[in-house]
Amino acid sequence: MRTRLLAAATALALSPVSMADEGMWQPHQLPQLESILKAKGLKIDPASISKLTEFPMNAVISLGGCTASFVSPKGLVVTNHHCAYGSIQFNSTTDNNILENGFLAKKIAQELPAAPGSRVYVTEQVTEISNQINEGTQSLTGKARFDAIDRNSKAAVAECEKDTGYRCNVYTFHGGLQYFLIKALEIKDVRLVYNPAMGIGKFGGDIDNWMWPRHTGDFSFYRAYVGKDGKPAEYSTDNVPYESTSFLSVSAKGVQDGDFVMVTGYPGRTNRYRVASEVDYVFNTAYPQSRALNSKYVELIEANAPEGSQARIAYESTIAGYNNYIKNYGSMIESFKKGSMFERKQHTEHALQAWINQDADRKEKYGSVLAELNALVIESQANHERDRVLGMVHRSQMISTARLLYRLAIEKQKPDAERESGYQTRDFTRIEARLKSMSRRFDETVDKAILLHFLELYAALPVAERVSEVDSVLQLEEGFNKAKHSALLDTMYSHSKIADEDTRLWMMGLELSQLQQSTDPFIHYAKAIHAVMQQLEDKEKDLEGRQQSARPKLMEAIIAYNQAIGKPVYADANSTLRVTYGTVGGYSPKDGLWATPFTSLEGLLAKNTGTEPFNSPDRQNTLIKQKDYGDYTGSLTSVPVNFLSNVDTTGGNSGSPTLNGNAELVGLLFDGVYESIIGDWDYDENLNRSIHVDSRYMLWVMDKVDNAQNLLNEMKIVR
What is the spatial distance between Cα 414 and Cα 162, in angstroms, rounded to a whole number?
20
Are residue 107 and residue 231 in the same domain, yes or no?
A: yes
Are residue 506 and residue 541 in the same domain, yes or no?
A: yes
Where a domain ends, among 553, 588, 606?
A: 553
Chain centroid offset of residue 335 CA: 22
Which residues touch 499 (CB under 8 Å, ≥6 apart)?
398, 442, 444, 493
Are residue 548 and residue 595 in the same domain, yes or no?
A: no
Active site residue ranges: 82, 218, 654
In a domain, 95, yes or no: yes
Are residue 199 and residue 340 in the same domain, yes or no?
A: no
Chunked mean pLDDT (size 10), the chain, 719 residues: 45 40 90 90 92 94 97 98 97 96 98 97 96 95 97 98 97 96 98 98 96 98 98 97 96 98 97 95 97 98 96 95 93 92 94 96 96 95 96 98 98 97 97 96 98 98 96 96 98 98 98 97 98 98 95 95 82 96 96 97 97 97 98 95 97 97 98 94 94 98 98 97
In a domain, 567, yes or no: no
pLDDT given for residue 16 in this prediction: 33
In a domain, 135, yes or no: no
Are residue 226 and residue 291 in the same domain, yes or no?
A: no
Closest CA to 186 of 53, 49, 64: 64
In a domain, 149, yes or no: no
Are residue 248 and residue 282 in the same domain, yes or no?
A: no
Are residue 525 and residue 469 in the same domain, yes or no?
A: yes
pLDDT given for residue 542 in this prediction: 97
Are residue 512 and residue 578 in the same domain, yes or no?
A: no
Beta strand extents in 502-545 (DSSP E only):
none
pLDDT given for residue 12 in this prediction: 37
Burial class (CB in 10 A: 0-12, 13-18, 19+), 360: exposed
Paired sense of beta strands 112-113 and 103-104, if any: unpaired
Respond yes or no on whether the N-terminal peptide bond of residue 73 is cis (omega within 30° of 0). Answer: no
Residue 534 to residues 82, 193, 236, 529: CA-CA distances in angstroms?
35, 43, 39, 9
C-alpha gyration radius of the chain: 26
In a domain, 160, yes or no: no
pLDDT given for residue 29 in this prediction: 85
Total domains present in the chain:
2
Where a domain ends, among 505, 524, 553?
A: 553
Number of C-alpha atoms within 13 angstroms, CB side, residue 394? 18
In a domain, 182, yes or no: no
Are residue 253 and residue 322 in the same domain, yes or no?
A: no
Are residue 257 and residue 114 in the same domain, yes or no?
A: yes
Closest CA to 670 of 653, 682, 686: 653
pLDDT given for residue 33 in this prediction: 84
Are residue 283 and residue 254 in the same domain, yes or no?
A: no
Torsion of CA 395, 401, 405, 407, to 10 degrees: 0
In a domain, 419, yes or no: yes
In a domain, 385, yes or no: yes
Which structural domain range is residue 260 located in?
Answer: 2-119+188-266+572-718
Are residue 68 and residue 217 in the same domain, yes or no?
A: yes
pLDDT given for residue 57 in this prediction: 95
Where a domain ends, among 525, 553, 581?
A: 553
